């Protein structure tokens, strides 16, 4: 069996966020997140859950040097980000969506997974997207115990949904207002967590891709 994949010459989003943070302007972050949200919304609509969404599993089609000079990311004519690594994904029955297998990276795991409860993979994917977006905005993971002076282990903080804004608190730019609202809707207990429909209907997603990225055959 051979898998032929497009070459993503920009590496992964973890490398960009770690080594090239100056490239991650609010407009570029919103464009990348909008593409990821659209991808996750699509697979959920087809009854597939990813279960391993994280910075390392997002590949970039453009190198940092090119991303740095895009003046209007929302109007860039082709996809910038690609959601990859579906090794832990699975098909679900929408009528009976609960899963029990604990998988994925702990830093991105939702409270219900950490506590060993049955979980809806669509809701845990939403949580992971919130963790990813927080990391792009803040430059660190929301449940990084080192950022909290090591007061608790990561999984204990996740179980309590114990997180806070650091860099943008008090000096929040209007440019970060929409991503902030999305993160705050994602990083909640499952009963009050937003859905992918809600995320994709938000201004942060709808206004961040102003060009048609996908066209039908023959057009």
* Residues annotated as catalytic (active site), given as ranges: 52
Instruction: Identify the residue whose tokens are 């980000």.
Output: 81
Q: How many CA within 13 A on the CB side of residue 166?
A: 15
Taking the C-alpha atoms of residue 219 and residue 214, their distance in angstroms, rounded to an integer, is 10
Q: What is the DSSP letter of 40?
A: H
Taking the C-alpha atoms of residue 219 and residue 57, their distance in angstroms, rounded to an integer, is 31
Which contiguous run of DSSP H or E holds residue 184? helix 177-186
Alpha carbon 120 to chain centroid, angstroms: 17
Taking the C-alpha atoms of residue 183 and residue 151, their distance in angstroms, rounded to an integer, is 23
How many other CB atoms are there within 10 angstroms of residue 78's CB atom?
9
């Amino acid at each position: 069996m051979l898998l032929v994949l497009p070459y993503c010459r920009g590496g992964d989003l973890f490398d960009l966020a770690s080594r090239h943070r100056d490239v991650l302007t609010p407009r570029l972050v919103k464009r990348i997140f909008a593409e990821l949200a659209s991808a996750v919304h699509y697979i959920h609509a087809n009854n597939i859950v990813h279960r391993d969404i994280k910075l390392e599993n997002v590949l970039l089609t453009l190198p940092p040097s090119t991303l740095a000079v895009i003046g209007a990311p929302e109007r860039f004519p082709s996809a910038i980000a690609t959601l990859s690594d579906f090794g832990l994904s699975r098909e679900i029955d929408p009528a009976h969506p609960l899963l029990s297998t604990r998988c994925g990276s702990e830093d991105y795991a939702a409270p219900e997974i950490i506590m060993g409860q049955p979980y809806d993979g669509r809701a845990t994917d939403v949580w992971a997207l919130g963790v990813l977006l927080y990391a792009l905005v803040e430059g660190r993971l929301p449940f990084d115990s080192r950022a909290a002076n090591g007061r608790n282990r990561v999984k204990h903080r996740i179980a309590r949904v114990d997180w806070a804004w650091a860099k943008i608190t008090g000096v929040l730019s209007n440019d970060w207002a929409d991503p902030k609202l999305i993160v705050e809707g994602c990083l909640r207990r499952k009963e009050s967590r937003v859905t992918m429909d809600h995320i994709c209907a938000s201004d942060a997603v709808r206004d961040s891709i102003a060009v048609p990225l996908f066209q039908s055959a023959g057009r």
